[in-house]
Chains A and B, each alone.
Chain A
Amino acid sequence: MGVRQENGTPRKLGPVTEEEIADVTDNEVRKYLRGEGANLEVIQDKKLKGQLAVREELYGKSAKTAAKAEKWLMPTEGGYLDAEGIEKTWRIKQDTIAREVDISSSKKQYDIVLPDFGPYTLDFTSSGRYMAAAGHKGHLAIIDLQNLGVIKELQDEMMLIGVTGIVVNENVEFRGRGKRWILVADLILYRCIAEVREAVRDVVFLHNELFFAAAQNKYLYIYNRDGTELHCLKEHGAVLKLQFLKNHFLLASINNFGQLHYQDVTTGEMVNNYRTGLGRSDVLQVNPFNGVIASGHSGGTVNMWKPTSAAPLVKMLCHRGPVTGLAFHPNGHLMATAGMDKKIKLWDLRKFQVLQTLPGHAKTLDFSQKGLLATATGSFIQVLGDFSGSQNYSRYMGHSMAKGYQIQKVSFRPYEDVLGIGHSMGWSSILIPGAGEPNFDSWVANPFETSKQRREKEVRSLLDKLPAEAIMLDPSKIGTVRSARKKEKPTKQEREAEIEAAVAAAKSVSLKKKTKGRNKPSKLVKKRQQGIERAKRPLLEQQMEEELSKKKKRKMSEDNQLPKSLQRFARKTATV
């Protein structure tokens, strides 16, 4: 990924020896180790120690094998920009890149101008093959990006059926008229097209390209690939922003009242809905690492949610002003936020601390698979990259939209070095070398999926569907042992035993001999009694205090019983 200042030492020519293949650095292996190994030194049990040692060795071996496979067996290498001398990567323009790259890559640079429906928002499938575009004025489209390369050949056909728009590619412009966008040919450019005649605020793909959800003026709708409306989800209300959790098959939305809904798309069950209580928000992003959803609010806070608790998992005050954009690094440890206070902040989600604060506005943010951060405001896009390896983001590339098109959404295309931009006049695609993961895994997301593979995968992913309870801040906790709880309050028996011990201690104190008349047995008994009382008192007082506070708490909660008409405004108690 990223910049190469100069060429490294050239790789030795000729066949690779066995030792060279086995030679992987610790750094390359660490990525696959999934954390530190168990500390075997402290284990007393010899049998357990032996078993764990065997296991650890196995983990080490498999990590090394994976590292070797990464080093030698990957079919493609990542893209990069080669800046030389004093040349700066952020000065390199898109047309310069277009001249240098191969033809098929240069075809990925294009602007599609659709002035009637903008601004546009975009979503890619997890394999990056399909894109859904939604024009705010009522246009939905699904595009097979692999066949988009044939734009030029298709122009005549497009003109024939009448397209409203301009396609700019390699200085070719053309214009058409008409309103409908249906192209059903062998080479399918736009698969689905629906003119919905109402505002479309957001669009997301569900688990594959066959289904997508669109947030429209009043309700949320689910369509299939051909643009047929399948469901109208009225319960969500007027949704502003949508997210889909593909491991859990949950569709999450936030509506104009700031209500968060989680709906299971396999059963149709509404898993949960919460009032954020923080007003209208259109900043919602799922953390791909753990499935936790973050929402940004006008008060400058970012709240993180899971479907099984009404109270947010995390509340962070990120900005002194409304939060405008939010993005998560694919490794889940880094979050980028942008606010109206003209700041872009990078957060470490393990410590919930800010790592870096950059100046500037951003309406939309997105992290690429390789960790590049795209920020956009107005008609300008800036791509930041972490080239020092120490979470220090700096300028990598920039791009200005032609004619001042206002950017609505930027989104990196998975497995490609491409940034998709939805703007006021349609959508565009530019090349960002080193953005995408160059090698896909056929079992995770396959851009070249056949329909049979897609069907198989649908079944398999349904079998592996995670329950909503699996969403938590640290997903590696599943299957581990919960550490022992802290000592609870003393039990009644313990308390009694404590008092008894104090009494026994007070009884056994030997009293001093006093002068005549003050050493009478009655006096002695009285004195001893007083000693016992004195020993008992602090313990009893403590007990009474606790009871009193308990009673008080109960009373408080009773007081909170509002009249029935007002009860719906009461805040729900946290159930974490």
Chain B
Amino acid sequence: MKPKKKKVTDPNPKGWLQPEAGRKKYPRVFHNFDPNLRTQEKAVEYVRALNAAKLEKIFARPFIGAMDGHRDSVSCMAKNPNHLKGIFSGSMDGDIRLWDIASSVRLWSVPIAAAMESDGISDSSNKPLAVHVSKNAFWAADHQWDGDLFATAGAQVDIWDHNRSQPVKSFEWGSDTVISVRFNPGEPNILATSASDRSITVYDLRMDSPARKLIMRTRTNSISWNPMEPMNFTASSTSYAYRQMKIAIAIAMMLENWMKPNVSTKIMLDIDYSPTGREFVTGSYDRTVRIFQYNGGHSREIYHTKRMQRVFCVKFSWDASYVISGSDDTNLRLWKAKASEQLGVILPRERKKHEYMEAVKNRYKHLPEVKRITRHRHLPKPVYKASALRRIMAAAERRKEDRRRAHSTPGSMPKESMVEDELRKIS
């Protein structure tokens, strides 16, 4: 008989536990991916997904802090693309402040008197570089992303140059007040405005007259261009509808995608796109801040606090991880864009764990229990009730229309698409 080659696993504990080179702290680990060793892996994954959903809810604390100091409601904000931490805010009493959002302190401000009177103030740091005067009151202003031009809106749309005291160009279409204006981030000569006659107008500075005008069913309060897809913009309106419109660069305008979030019932006052172009934030009259996917119908997130009043202005931070809101209660508030995101330095193992949790949650998101937990948001009673009421009203409207259609001559009441319903006229 020849020797039997017989091997039995011989574990010498010291050898097995010896740490790998360069990893002195941890005992050595081994992997074996044999599926027989991990039984019921689907059930385990499901339980992990459920736990991940629950943990996400536990860690969802989006409110970071408030910046107070304004003496009147905060009406507008502006951010500088070259500075991550700074944000300007303006209040209804004419106060302008620059904030450092990392430390929530005021860096600089323009005294109200200085803002009112352009001359007679000794402090040079608060002195404006240039002053432009127009015949009419201003409702909105926006600067080109690159270049020397800026636009103001009011009774008419004026285009100004830094070096000229008079507008280089003026546009007028109809007699109503223009309430907002935004330059296109991709094509510097295109800007969009909305007016109180429920219109949205697109201008091309190379032409003498406005390019296109849409009349909507409700008034548009604010417009934001998608920075990653600059042919699209989203408008926030007085009704509960959002719209995303696409302009072919060659001016032809068409409607691409309409979103009708049932959740929001109140007037949306401001809107701002995330620098990633994948989501946008809105501030609303119902005292909430909501974050939407750029192409999805429902809001991904809704933020509210007991003390926050009507939100007049919202901005995404330039790193897309924070949201700043300014509201009627004279405060600026800083929120996390992802409510349960862990802030600070994340170790690689921690990050991998987060990624794994996210992946299993995504895999089992359609299962009822996981879905229920991830979708649930606690809402203030008025918001909750208003959305319920809104649903009832919409259902009643639909029912009534259906009955009318059923009792009228076939074909006399064609079904209107949501686009047609929202959009009254294109010219």
Where the two chains meet, the residues of A that have a C-beta atom closer than 8 Å to any C-beta of B are 4, 31-32, 34, 66, 69-70, 73-84, 87, 92, 96-97, 100-102, 104-105, 108, 146, 247, 288-291, 330-332, 369, 415-418, 431, 433, 436-448, 450, 453, 463-467, 470, 475-476, 478-479
A461 to B6, CA, bound (A): 36
A84 to B3, CA, bound (A): 10
- Within the complex, which residue of B10, B33, B39 is in contact with A104, where a contact is CB–CB below 8 Å? B10
Which chain A residues border B385 with CB–CB below 8 Å?
Answer: none
B39 pairs with A290, CB closer than 8 A: yes
Given contacts A247-B39, A289-B39, A330-B36, contact A81 B6 (CB under 8 A): yes
B33 pairs with A105, CB closer than 8 A: no
Given contacts A290-B39, A444-B32, A475-B42, contact A464 B48 (CB under 8 A): yes
A437 pairs with B30, CB closer than 8 A: no
- Within the complex, which residue of B3, B4, B29, B47 is in contact with A464, where a contact is CB–CB below 8 Å? B47
The contact string, 1 if C-beta is below 8 Å from chain A, for chain B 1-41, is 11111111111110011000000000111111111111110
Which chain B residues border A108 with CB–CB below 8 Å?
Answer: 8
17 more contacts with CB within 8 A, not counting A70-B34, A445-B37, are A4-B5, A79-B7, A80-B5, A81-B6, A83-B4, A101-B8, A247-B39, A290-B39, A290-B40, A415-B9, A416-B9, A441-B32, A443-B31, A466-B44, A470-B43, A470-B46, A479-B363
A70 to B37, CA, bound (A): 13
Which chain B residues border A441 with CB–CB below 8 Å?
Answer: 30-34, 37
Name the residue in B1, B3, B38, B40 with the highest tally of chain A Cβ atoms < 10 Å from its Cβ: B40
A464 pairs with B44, CB closer than 8 A: yes
Which chain B residues border A87 with CB–CB below 8 Å?
Answer: 1
Given contacts A448-B13, A450-B27, contact A101 B6 (CB under 8 A): yes
Least Cβ–Cβ distance between B141 and chain A, in angstroms: 42
A97 pairs with B47, CB closer than 8 A: no
Which chain B residues border A102 with CB–CB below 8 Å?
Answer: 8, 10
Which chain B residues border A79 with CB–CB below 8 Å?
Answer: 6-9
- Within the complex, which residue of B7, B29, B30, B36 is in contact with A77, where a contact is CB–CB below 8 Å? B7
Least Cβ–Cβ distance between B296 and chain A, in angstroms: 15
Which chain B residues border A92 with CB–CB below 8 Å?
Answer: 4
Which chain B residues border A77 with CB–CB below 8 Å?
Answer: 7
A69 to B34, CA, bound (A): 11
Which chain B residues border A463 with CB–CB below 8 Å?
Answer: 48, 51
Q: Which residue of B lies closest to A431 (CB)?
A: B8
The verdict on B364 contacting chain A, using a C-beta distance below 8 Å, is yes
A80 to B28, CA, bound (A): 27
- What count of chain B residues pass the 8 Å CB interface test? 40
The verdict on B413 contacting chain A, using a C-beta distance below 8 Å, is no
A192 to B290, CA, bound (A): 61
Q: Which residue of B lies closest to A7 (CB)?
A: B5
A161 to B278, CA, bound (A): 75
A30 to B263, CA, bound (A): 48
Q: Which residue of A lies closest to B2 (CB)?
A: A84
The verdict on B396 contacting chain A, using a C-beta distance below 8 Å, is no
B43 pairs with A433, CB closer than 8 A: no
The verdict on B64 contacting chain A, using a C-beta distance below 8 Å, is no
A479 pairs with B46, CB closer than 8 A: yes
- Within the complex, which residue of B6, B12, B16, B47 is in contact with A433, where a contact is CB–CB below 8 Å? B6
A15 to B210, CA, bound (A): 73
A439 to B7, CA, bound (A): 13
Q: Which residue of B lies closest to A416 (CB)?
A: B9
- Within the complex, which residue of B4, B12, B29, B46 is in contact with A81, where a contact is CB–CB below 8 Å? B4
B33 pairs with A442, CB closer than 8 A: no
- Within the complex, which residue of A76, A80, A81 is in contact with B9, where a contact is CB–CB below 8 Å? A76
Given contacts A439-B32, A444-B32, contact A475 B40 (CB under 8 A): yes
Which chain B residues border A433 with CB–CB below 8 Å?
Answer: 6-8
A463 to B353, CA, bound (A): 14
B11 pairs with A146, CB closer than 8 A: yes
A332 pairs with B39, CB closer than 8 A: yes
Which chain A residues border B3 with CB–CB below 8 Å?
Answer: 100
- Within the complex, which residue of A82, A448, A453, A475 is in contact with B11, where a contact is CB–CB below 8 Å? A448
A437 pairs with B35, CB closer than 8 A: no
